[in-house]
Amino acid sequence: MRLGLAIDYADDFAAAVQLARGADRLGLDLVSVAEAYSFDAVSRLGYLAAVTERVGLAATVLGAYTRSPATLAMTAAGLDDVSGGRFELGLGASGPQVVEGFHGVPFAAPLTRLREIVEVCRMVWRREPARLEGRTVRLPLPPEAGGTGLGKPLALVNHPVRPRIPIAIAALTPRSVAQTAEIADGWLPAFFHPEHASAMWADALATGAARRDPGLGPLDVHVQVPLRIGSGAAERAALAAHRARLALYVGGMGARGRNFYADVVAGFGFTDAAAEVQERFLAGDRAGAAAALPEDLVRGTSLIGDRAQVRDRWAAFADAGVTTVSVSPGGTADALDQLATLRELTA
């Protein structure tokens, strides 16, 4: 499996830069940068491209509604250029809370939007004149859709470093996972639990794989997990932080009946817990919501524990078909030592 460093949208970036440079020296495979309703990931990735030498760089993820498909293609090509062919594009639909609440854009037809973005990106990187009569993307824009009729298909001016930049898609629902397995280079699931993931996603992955172009190669399954190797107070603090984050997403990232993260936890078999976490969180009881999360879920979606426990969890991710693990060691003073120890354990 590839080993990566995950930089969260809320991390202190100055410290993250030093950690990314350390990851580069250690020989890690990837540094991924998150984006939500936060500072943008693109400027940070451009900076990291200048201060690292060999490590891959990934956006996890850029929103499908926050930039036009052509802008996403241009941005990915630009980051691939300044990094010397080290960039991977992560895409995601996000949800109505962010798309409509923060960006003021209708959250409509997310699966179609992602499929059409992928098509446009690959067209642009091949330097083909962009033409698409899609449902959410129409290039050139015709008069009946608000265009002037003066637009014409255009090809990218520059010559990309690579005509095909890897695209990973963040997907959770069965339909979106099936589409991802069909059209993308990689899949970015949230809160992946190796022992329960198959119950949630096996059928969807098989459906998408049956429609997949063999030319795409195997699907990269890229999970992100918190890291803390050790025991005692540091382990307890890491578990508490991960538990709080899980509660935020399962309980607060969506309304009742429309929370994709709660659906995933329920799909893992923790149906009652998912409902209780959401009820407590939405009632303002964040501590109670965190406490309601099963220990199996918290530990199973992390690399937290002593050396033997972390080694066993790493093996569990590999056995479940994961091919890339990006870890978040938190803002601790020994974060680089944590990465080095994990590198040693998994070599």
Query: Is the distance from CB of 261 to CB of 172 less than 8 angstroms?
Result: yes
Predicted confidence (pLDDT) per residue in 39-60, tens digit: 999 999 999 999 999 999 999 9
Query: Is the distance from CB of 62 to CB of 30 less than 8 angstroms?
Result: no
User: Which residues lie closer than 8 Å to 311 by C-beta, 6 or more apart?
Assistant: 345, 346
Look at the chain and count its residues.
Answer: 347
How do the pLDDT tens digits run along the chain, 347 residues long?
A: 999 999 999 999 999 999 999 999 999 999 999 999 999 999 999 999 999 999 999 999 999 999 999 999 999 999 999 999 999 999 999 988 899 999 999 999 999 999 999 999 999 999 999 999 999 999 999 999 999 999 999 999 999 999 999 999 999 999 999 999 999 999 999 999 999 999 999 999 999 999 999 999 999 999 999 999 999 999 999 999 999 999 999 999 877 878 999 999 999 999 999 999 999 999 999 999 999 999 999 999 999 999 999 999 999 999 999 999 999 998 888 999 999 999 999 98
Lookup: tokens for 84: 């010397």
Give the Cα separation of 99 and 108 in Å (integer): 10
Give the Cα separation of 166 and 32 in Å (integer): 13
**Greatest C-alpha distance within the chain:** 67
pLDDT score recorded for residue 270: 97
User: Which residues lie closer than 8 Å to 20 by C-beta, 6 or more apart?
Assistant: 5, 7, 31, 48, 51, 52, 55
18 membership: H or E segment, kind and range: helix 13-26
